[in-house]
Structure 1
Amino acid sequence: MDIALREVHDSDLPVFFRQLNDPEALRMAAFTPEDPADRAAFDARWARARTSSDVVRTILGDGDVLGSAAVYGEPGEREVTYWVDRAYWGRGVATAALRQLLAEVPERPLYARAAADNAGSLRVLEKCGFTPSARTRGHAPARGVEIDEVVLHLLDRTPGGG
């Protein structure tokens, strides 16, 4: 499958909203909006992201919208995030998309966070050169409880390098 990133189009937002409301994906991501079904809040978040200094991209697989990837936050504290449709988990989509995003955004350091039990996401981040640097606990809205979270960092400018 040919994985590519491009600017987010308005027509991508309904796909992102559907993906955000997949119960299994929500549980895995854990640190999600309080009410992912609130379409007005979803639209407002995306409108802010698309007009900010954040780098937000649509992930395409053979031309189809498979998810999103972004770098957001203040300089020196910027984080990566990504969301891939559950139908494509385990197929290398997140790794390929994150590597492309890291090549596009050369600034370092970058940070990432994942639920400690989200082995798939942790593996993607490590394949792309992120190194675990801390463990914290935080409220996971998608699970309604406090859970362990792994904080990772990337210092190297080489995509996939650490």
Structure 2
Amino acid sequence: MCIIETQPVIETRRLTLRSPGAQDIPRIAALANDPDIARMTQFMPHPFDVGDAEDFVLHVASQDPSKAVAFVIEHDDHGPVGVIGLHEGDDHSPETGYWIGREFWGRGFATEALEGALGWTRKHWKRRALMAGHFADNPASGRVLEKAGFLYTGEVRRPFSSARGARADKRMMVWLA
């Protein structure tokens, strides 16, 4: 039986990945309330307000850590800059997703956070494969996934995106430890 930390902390060169708490709610709401961020996620609504951030923090606290974990991505100088999560996907295979606040795009934070989360996944979550996907109109996310070692599977899904209010092509990728 594998015991999973309920509130793991991951340290990378510039970032700390930790469980979100009540102190993060205003910052998460401020960063996530961006239509260009929300439309690139499957589940995030837009607008995204303090109530949505509260719901997110409560949801994370209630998750079974053997099936799902989420982290605030925190930078020493900037505070929280985004969120990354790992969860059992629709087909019960582990999947990852992330978002970074607009003012922090292009700084390598998503790649660094993803690489840190993958190391934790391999060592502590004992997963040897992870799925991820990015909407076809978000090639930047595909590049982040590629840099972290994900490969395209050739599968395209059409999930419903809450912020778009419509289905969109999602290009699937896989990471093998």
Report the TM-score range of the alignment, normalised by the length of the smaller protein. 0.7 to 0.9
Question: Is contact 2:82-2:98 (8 Å) kept?
Answer: yes
SS at match of 2:169: strand
Show structure 2 runs of 5+ residues with no match: 1-12
- Residues 1:117 and 2:140 aligned together: no
TM superposition shift of 1:39 = 4.5
SS at match of 1:48: helix
TM superposition shift of 1:149 = 0.7
SS at match of 2:111: helix
Deviations 1:64-113 (A, max 9, x none): 11111111126961111111111111110000011111111111211112
Aligned residues: 155
Structure 1 runs of 4+ off > 4 angstroms? none
Residue in structure 1 matching 2:82, options 67, 86, 92: 67
- Return the alpha-carbon distance in structure 2 between the equivalents of residues 76 and 37 of structure 1: 27
Structure 1 residues 101 and 149, CA gap change in structure 2 (3 angstroms): same
Identity of aligned residues (%): 30
Partner in structure 2 of residue 154 of structure 1? 175
* TM-score, scaled to structure 1: 0.83
Question: Is contact 1:70-1:80 (8 Å) kept?
Answer: yes
Residue in structure 2 matching 1:86, options 68, 84, 102: 102
- Return the alpha-carbon distance in structure 2 between the equivalents of residues 2 and 38 of structure 1: 28
* TM-score, scaled to structure 2: 0.77
Show structure 1 runs of 5+ residues with no match: 157-162
TM superposition shift of 1:138 = 2.6
- Residues 1:55 and 2:69 aligned together: yes
Question: Is contact 2:129-2:176 (8 Å) kept?
Answer: yes
- Return the alpha-carbon distance in structure 2 between the equivalents of residues 122 and 40 of structure 1: 30
SS at match of 2:143: helix
Q: Which amino acid aligns with 1:143?
A: R
- Return the alpha-carbon distance in structure 1 between the equivalents of residues 22 and 176 of structure 2: 33
TM superposition shift of 1:43 = 2.4
- Return the alpha-carbon distance in structure 1 between the equivalents of residues 101 and 49 of structure 2: 19
Q: Which amino acid aligns with 1:149?
A: K
Q: Which amino acid aligns with 2:173?
A: L
- Residues 1:131 and 2:142 aligned together: no
Residue in structure 2 matching 1:12, options 24, 35, 49: 24
- Return the alpha-carbon distance in structure 1 between the equivalents of residues 173 and 14 of structure 2: 27
Partner in structure 2 of residue 159 of structure 1? none
Structure 1 residues 76 and 148, CA gap change in structure 2 (3 angstroms): closer
